[in-house]
Structure 1
């Protein structure tokens, strides 16, 4: 019986020793896992900090670009090849969206098939470039602008082509007078209608230019009975009240125009200025009864023909309006400009000739008249 008791005590001690060993092993494993977990947490925090720093830098560069900052100060980074599969797709998309223009995105697509080819993870089979172009258009374009853009359709219109169209989109969204209409429903083009010698005006009212340099091109079609220029924005003007002849140099309407004046018009008293495509003269007005300047034979004066393109460069840093014809600089038509302006076209019929003009945004020309790429 004594031997049996000793055997039981030995078995119990052996069992206790094994349990202690198991507990020690488990504790060691727990410590190891906790250490690994701590390392992963630290790594995640470092990655999150890097992403946050990257997003902050992107935001700063976006704001600098919007203010017209000097792009030459941006850092140039030389790097070895990067495995894009290790980067989150949303980060790559965000970085790509900073490129901003259709041409830059096209160049990106041409650099690497990973950017330009359709992504298998996308249910719509869009490439990275297509998705960035889509997001850019949807974020920037207003409802009116979207109505003037082609609709996306696989095989017919890509988002990259829609973005390119948006970048060059200007439209005549305000029609004043009863003798003008959009041509074939296209808001970027207008034509005269109705009676002969009855003026009406189309204004690009949603495109208000208050600072910097702006260049637009006007294609003349079906005759040259058109005047092209700039006018103060007048969003409170009731277009429906002017269904007869409308003329920005009509003295009877000057009180209506001046009632729209705001403080941001500034000190310039040039409220409308135009180039007459028919004979090349310049007209400008202060909207008073005595100081209109009409049929001015300015230096560089030339008339236009059907098929010509008239370029207008409004430089509000210098306060000048310069005229171009078929990418050739004619000269400065007026100076002393400040405050906000909009593009406009004034049209009228002359017997069988019906003027028509379309507008689009153009690249800023160099001093010699050649446009930049």
Structure 2
């Protein structure tokens, strides 16, 4: 019998007979089984992924359940304490209303038990009065007076007091407001000390602050040969020695003048000068007892940066302009130093840290720093005032 090239296998039929199966049929069956097996594997992997997700969800639910149990335990404890308090109130004939359950609690720190010097040292790193004020507003323990403290003010106020005391000279302290409970706080005094020298009053229409900075003034743009004045009226020098520096541009006049807090700056909208006789009646109307005697009294005294000439006036009969031993002119970007020593009654002038000499003596009573500016076609006058370090010993400390 001829071979057709197809191998045959024997298999049993259902009736027990023998059935012949070819290799192709076997391979087809194996492929079917392999495909079925792969489907089962995929289903198994899908089931395994679902089981992992379920296990993760179960773990989350267990955690939430534990948190709820802890919270329930806390609430139960509070309810038990509430019930205990209610029973005590009933026994004492007090309030019979059930108190509400409070879940949230606040933890506070009693700063009265902390040494004041430690708190003062920590808060001193804040530096400015504004930062200390923010601290006082943020935390009442710093901003309120401590009931058990020997201080008459809060911890923040104590830090401000220490800052003022450590940074101020005796002369400056005499010019600062005095602490009065309910009127002047140590924070306000510290803020005043931080802004001792600035031109807070402008008199005349031809002067203005530069870049909103009150420590610097300049002659108004577009106007020539019109004089106006800027006064540091917030810092009144009544006693002791005071030193300030003025960085100049152009040829301003720099000097001292009587404090006149009642003078209405808005009434002077043209040219203005402390040596303008038309204003003398207004100036003398501002006289106070501490000005001293009217005869021979120096109410304004100034230094000309152009040639170093000195001028002074009593706002009456005498307007004196003359030279003095150390007179010397200045150039733009030079620094004028002025030392007002009210213990000696002298006004001393410095040029770039070099002492020129005593320009005026016989001074007494209160004064403020001022500058007088005029713009020319060649130069725009400008002056910046600042606290300075006295270049050598002259019986004073710097303002």
- Identify the TM-score tier after normalising by the shorter chain: 0.5 to 0.7
Shift of the 179–291 alpha-carbon distance from structure 1 to 2, 3 Å rule, reads same
Instruction: Report if the CA contact (8 A) 1:270-1:286 is conserved.
Output: yes
Instruction: Report if the CA contact (8 A) 2:205-2:269 is conserved.
Output: yes
Residue 306 of structure 1 corresponds to which residue in structure 2? 332
Q: Provide the rounded CA distance (Å) in 2 between the counterparts of 1:208 and 1:342.
A: 5
Deviation at 1:259, TM superposition (A): 0.4
Alignment match of 2:240 (pick from 212, 221, 224): 212
Residue 308 of structure 2 corresponds to which residue in structure 1? 280
Shift of the 137–370 alpha-carbon distance from structure 1 to 2, 3 Å rule, reads closer
Instruction: Report if the CA contact (8 A) 2:209-2:218 is conserved.
Output: yes
Q: Provide the rounded CA distance (Å) in 1 between the counterparts of 2:271 and 2:354.
A: 33
Residue 349 of structure 1 corresponds to which residue in structure 2? 375
Residue 226 of structure 1 corresponds to which residue in structure 2? 252
Instruction: Report if the CA contact (8 A) 1:319-1:338 is conserved.
Output: yes
Instruction: Report if the CA contact (8 A) 2:196-2:235 is conserved.
Output: no
Normalising by structure 2, report the TM-score: 0.53
Shift of the 164–251 alpha-carbon distance from structure 1 to 2, 3 Å rule, reads closer
Residue 47 of structure 2 corresponds to which residue in structure 1? none
Q: Provide the rounded CA distance (Å) in 2 between the counterparts of 1:262 and 1:244.
A: 26
Match of 2:261, SS state, is coil
Instruction: Report if the CA contact (8 A) 2:120-2:158 is conserved.
Output: no
Q: Provide the rounded CA distance (Å) in 1 between the counterparts of 2:263 and 2:397.
A: 36
Runs of 5+ consecutive residues of structure 1 not aligned to the other structure: 1-86, 103-121, 124-130, 141-162
Shift of the 137–282 alpha-carbon distance from structure 1 to 2, 3 Å rule, reads same
Instruction: Report if the CA contact (8 A) 2:243-2:397 is conserved.
Output: no
Match of 2:269, SS state, is coil
Instruction: Report if the CA contact (8 A) 1:232-1:341 is conserved.
Output: yes
Normalising by structure 1, report the TM-score: 0.56
The Cα offsets for residues 75-121 of structure 1, whole Å up to 9 and x where unpaired, read as: xxxxxxxxxxxx93423344799x99x8xxxxxxxxxxxxxxxxxxx
Larger radius of gyration: 2
Q: Provide the rounded CA distance (Å) in 2 between the counterparts of 1:139 and 1:262.
A: 32
Deviation at 1:362, TM superposition (A): 1.6
Deviation at 1:164, TM superposition (A): 11
Instruction: Report if the CA contact (8 A) 1:220-1:356 is conserved.
Output: yes
Match of 1:310, SS state, is strand
Please, which moves more after superposition, 187-196 or 197-206? 187-196
**Alignment: residue pair count:** 236
Alignment of 1:104-143 (within 5 A): 135-136=159-160
Shift of the 298–133 alpha-carbon distance from structure 1 to 2, 3 Å rule, reads farther
Deviation at 1:167, TM superposition (A): 4.7
Deviation at 1:132, TM superposition (A): 7.5
Shift of the 265–177 alpha-carbon distance from structure 1 to 2, 3 Å rule, reads same
Runs in 1 of length 4+ with deviation above 3 angstroms? 93-97, 131-135, 137-140, 163-169, 367-372
Q: Provide the rounded CA distance (Å) in 2 between the counterparts of 1:203 and 1:183.
A: 15
Relative contact order: is structure 1 or structure 2 higher (C-alpha 8 Å, sep ≥ 6)? 1
Alignment match of 2:205 (pick from 178, 198, 201): 178
Residue 229 of structure 2 corresponds to which residue in structure 1? 201
Runs of 5+ consecutive residues of structure 2 not aligned to the other structure: 1-112, 128-137, 140-154, 165-189
Match of 1:189, SS state, is strand
Alignment match of 2:214 (pick from 165, 187, 199): 187
Residue 292 of structure 1 corresponds to which residue in structure 2? 319
Alignment of 1:1-373 (within 5 A): 88-94=114-120, 135-136=159-160, 167=194, 169-193=196-220, 194-221=222-249, 223=250, 225-267=251-293, 269-288=297-316, 290-294=317-321, 296-367=322-393
Shift of the 180–293 alpha-carbon distance from structure 1 to 2, 3 Å rule, reads same
